[in-house]
A and B are shown apart, each in its own frame.
Chain A
Amino acid sequence: MSGHVEITEKRAGAVDIITVRGRLDAGSSEKAEERINRVLDAGGTNLLINLCDLDYISSSGLRVLLAALKRLKRDGGALRIACNNPQILEVFTMAGFHRIFSLSSDEATALAEFAAGP
């Protein structure tokens, strides 16, 4: 059933990677926000959010991503998003978020861009 969201964390060098799979809607965005904040509270400043296996995102999901971006910008950190799902990317575009987020098509590319700097 599509109701589940699965969130996993890993680390690659200085980059924290949070992968969100499934549905990021009003019912699951709070859980995602808690996980992201936990990583940032622990001192993470380079955050990669992998949405390549996300099936669905609503404005509630975008709200969580925007909050993370604002917090990292304020703290001198960086957020990059990996996503290759055209429907998810269309939601970013409708919101104008494609202009403010650093989007890569896959995790390896996003990681390489962290290494390359801002």
Chain B
Amino acid sequence: MAELTLRADLGALAAIADFLAGELAGCGDDLVFAVQLAVDEACSNTILYGYPGGEAGTITVACTIDGDTVTVTITDDGVAFDPLTAPPPRLDIPAEERPIGGLGVHFIRTVMDSVAYARTGGKNVLTMEKRRAGSP
């Protein structure tokens, strides 16, 4: 398992994307892009809203490839927040009239095969899985 721990600020997002690109090299560009998108959206939420008191904490991104399944676990010490409780966006109304919030979580649910949230030891733990193309 490879792991990256960074201070939770917006500058971390590009470093996390680079880390995933390195770990998932060989899994195909579409899979890399999908995992980067899901992780970026989740980490963006944490960085922007997870530390309302001021001082940023840390985010740890861990990535494993087991057979046909890529698993990414994001752990942060921000305020308790389960992104999966966010209501899905109303895609049936014109986008101009939609609130843009919720789109990030919609992307996570769309591109990943499974997403699970837990609050463990005072930390948010988001675990996401994606099967590699061609696997059932």
Contact = CB atoms under 8 A, between A and B. Distances in A.
Q: Is the interface of B mostly helix, strand, loop or mixed?
A: helix
Contacts of B41: 58-59
A60 B10 CA distance: 12
A40 interface: no
A2 B11 CA distance: 11
Interface string A54-66: 0010111011001
Interface residues of B, number: 29
A112 interface: no
Interface string B97-111: 000100110110011
Interface string B53-95: 0000000000000000000000000000000000000010011
Interface residues of A, number: 26
B17 A2 contact: yes
A64 B10 CA distance: 17
A101 to B, nearest CB: 9
Interface of B: 10-11, 13-15, 17-18, 21, 29-30, 33, 36-37, 40-41, 44, 47-48, 91, 94-96, 100, 103-104, 106-107, 110-111
25 contacts: A1-B14, A1-B18, A3-B17, A3-B18, A23-B17, A25-B13, A25-B14, A25-B40, A26-B40, A26-B47, A26-B48, A27-B10, A27-B13, A58-B107, A59-B44, A66-B100, A73-B96, A87-B29, A87-B33, A91-B37, A94-B107, A94-B111, A95-B107, A96-B95, A97-B95
